[in-house]
Structure 1
Amino acid sequence: MLYGSWTSARPHFSVTWHKNDSGVMVSAGEERRELAQDGALWILPALQGDSGTYVCTVRNASFCEEMSVELRVLENTEASLPFISYPQILTLSTSDSLVCPELSDFTRNKTDLKIQWYKDSVLLDQDNEKFLSVKGTPRLLIRDVSAEDVGYYSCGITFVHKDTRYNITRNIELRVNKKEEETIPVIVSPHQTILASLGSRLTIPCKVFLGSGTQATTLLWWTANDTSIEIAYEEGRVTEGQRQEYSENNENYIEVPLIFDPVIREDLNTEFKCEVVNSLGFQTLQTTVKEASTFSCEIALAPLLLVFLVVGEIWIHKWWKHRARKARGLIMFKTDCDSV
């Protein structure tokens, strides 16, 4: 079935289809294998010769627009499976379900949906403890997913059109992912006190250690006076930076920075908290912003003061040494005079 993008948006327009290498139009109500209906082109059944480019034309008295769709019909063989299968992913050691896709056009107003499921072309027993076709839904429940469940599945229903029965089949490629394990999150930074100058831009990273645990299921955020940052600072002066997930020495971390642009005096009286949670634990760490202007001035003056002290000490040492030499010189002169 092929769709035009105007299927329901413009109900007062006429829709026609034709194959690009043919001038024959397909419209609703024609007794053909191709049928235009509700903006879609139905091909019942599809054959390899139907491959090609199809053009959909939408028009009324003052408007005309066209779009093209490329159709490729493959043989129903094992070699075609990678090209015609819908990939679906389940997690190891869990119970989850496959979904038979793209059936809505064939199952409208149906309350007794019956789907046949196959794995590697073998019909699955409906009473199997491993697989269960969920009645009235397009789902196949797989209990305790394992690596052996990987492979190609097919699902099918029957569809009746103008007293003719058609088989509708979908193929699914099942892939499985390793179950991700969680660990208790541990906040390793920031410090409880952060020094900053008023009017400056400040970034405080909140870094969380997860060891070998997964990062995907761990949530990390900041609050100000127990209020989310987005609500506390609607004007955007203080924001959460982009979440980062990374590994160091084969151990996992996540990090979310808190960004002040700029720091103002109000921030000095605000309780900022970094909070992290997953299914195994919750932790919070409070940090406070302190003004660093006075402290910074003292730190800046300290080297200069030390230089003055050293220079002063050297100068005093030389001055005393000079006086001592002068005093010794006078004493020897007087002794020489007395001896004459």
Structure 2
Amino acid sequence: MVCLELMSAVVIVACAYGQPPLPPLPMKDGCHYLDSELEVVRMEGEAVILNFPIFTRVLEKRKIGSPTATYLISKNNGTDGATFRAEGRVQQHDKELWLLPARASDSGEYICTYRNETYCVTGNITLHVYESSSVNMRKLSYGWPVAVGEEVKFSCQPLCCFNNTDGPVDWYKDSNPKALQPGRGGSLRRDGGALIIPAAMQSHAGLYTCRLKVLINNQQYNVSRSFMLMVEAPNVPPPVIVSPLNGTIFESSHGSGLELSCQVLTECPMADFTLVTWLVNGQSVESSYLDKRALQGGRRVTGVSEGCRIEQRLVIAEITDGDEKTEIKCVTENKGGKREAVIQLQLEDSTLTWLVVGAVAVSCLVTVVSIFLYVLFKPKGKKKMDYFLARQNSTFSF
């Protein structure tokens, strides 16, 4: 009976107001308190704006607010909190705290308190400011997991917090000091301050950082955000190198050319996402000592009964003595894994070659001399004598 009455009350309230009443907020030290905001991690020397999104949404949802209410942001030092004004390096502007710029000593818990004549609500957020000299960029990044082939769009979050920006937004990957540029074939695109990867591949995984400069009160500050892109690969078998076999030794003579072909077998849907390349002594062909004499290319994909076969050729125009024992490696990789096949160049033994040539030459010489001597000293036969038979008792007359 009691349950039915409670259910009826909920239904009546829902019908009257369109939704059930919100549960009361927990109390602490005479003030309602909210769950902690997500922690914020920033780099020393950059401009930082701390806001309290959960705190703000709760006030709006519960329609809490009045012209006479006050917002107070303080730093929790374990005793009395330090408060801030709208001037100086650390400034409070309504429900935001501006640090211009942030220092490592600013790390800690910050509390935002809303208070009017009858109501009090508090929220808190934790800020970590790392020194630039010892910062671990992974701590400054937001995890961004995606599946292979999924579109990724990184928005430079500082743009939503700072109204006045000065200059372009530059994007960087990992520790490369050179800013990213739109890729060939649309592999990377720019949309204002956003960076777009139309179809993520495992090679796209890594740390992406946007950097820009902002103007606050006519003073310029640096701002950055980092995202750790994690490209999740489904369970697919790794590619298989059909040819060449690992450990193969290729013999070539000095001055001759050599053409190698790496043939890889993979699933056809993965063919376009499968890398096949050649390395020379662990370096790319273009970066190796063979750069002027070698060229890789001619990638070809062919459908076979087992899947798709990918062929990548490597042509060496001329083999020299310096190529002896050179290690050449075919490497293939896709989201299923990585495979390698190592081969070695070896020059044919010139001593053995000359021995063979010499033996053939001596054999030919002996044959010629033998024929000459045979012709020269060939035994002569007896001359054939002319004769006729005469009958006995024959008489000749003249």
**Max Rg structure:** 2
TM-score band by shorter chain is 0.3 to 0.5
Q: TM-score, normalised by structure 2?
A: 0.39
